Amino acid sequence: MSSLTPTARVILGMLKLGLGTGYDIKKVIDLSTRFFWTASFGQIYPELKRLRKAGLVRAEQDPRGKVKRTVYSLTPKGEQAFHDWLTDGENMLFEIRDESLLRLFFSDFLSHDELIANLRTQEQVFEQVLLRFREIEVEAKAGVEEGRVYPYVALQYGIEFMAFARDWYAERARRLEAGEELFELEDGMATGGEARLGPTG
Q: pTM of the predicted model, to two decimals?
A: 0.81
d(CA 58, CA 70): 10
Determine whether 23 is exposed, middle or buried from the number of CB atoms within 10 Å of its CB (0-12, 13-18, 19+). middle
* Host H or E run for residue 110: none
Query: What pLDDT, in 10s, does the model give residues 93-117?
Result: 888 888 999 999 999 999 999 999 9
Instruction: Report helix, strand or coil for 93.
Output: coil
DSSP 8-state class, residue 126:
H
Task: Look at the chain and report how many structural domains it folds into.
Answer: 2
- Residue 197 pLDDT exceeds 60: no
Contact 149, 103 (CB under 8 A): no
59 and 112 housed in the same domain: no
CA of 91: how far to CAs of 35, 50, 95, 151, in Å?
21, 22, 13, 22
Among 34, 32, 40, 37, CA closest to 135: 32
Residue 141: inside a domain? yes
- Residue 193 pLDDT exceeds 80: no
165 and 139 housed in the same domain: yes
- Residue 199 pLDDT exceeds 80: no
- Residue 70 pLDDT exceeds 70: yes
CA of 155: how far to CAs of 12, 165, 170, in Å?
20, 15, 22
59 and 122 housed in the same domain: no
Mean pLDDT of 54-69: 91
Residue 135's CB is within 10 A of a number of other CB atoms, namely 10
94-103 long-range Cβ contacts below 8 angstroms, 24+ apart:
100/125, 100/169
- Residue 166 pLDDT exceeds 80: yes
d(CA 197, CA 201): 6
Structural domain span for residue 118: 99-192
Which amino acid does the sequence have at 123? E
Per-residue model confidence (pLDDT) at position 155:
95
d(CA 41, CA 27): 10
d(CA 199, CA 135): 43
Which residues have a Cβ under 8 Å from the Cβ of 42 and sit 6 or more positions away? none
Residue 94: inside a domain? no
Residue 197: inside a domain? no
Q: Report the length, in residues, of the chain.
A: 201
116 and 46 housed in the same domain: no
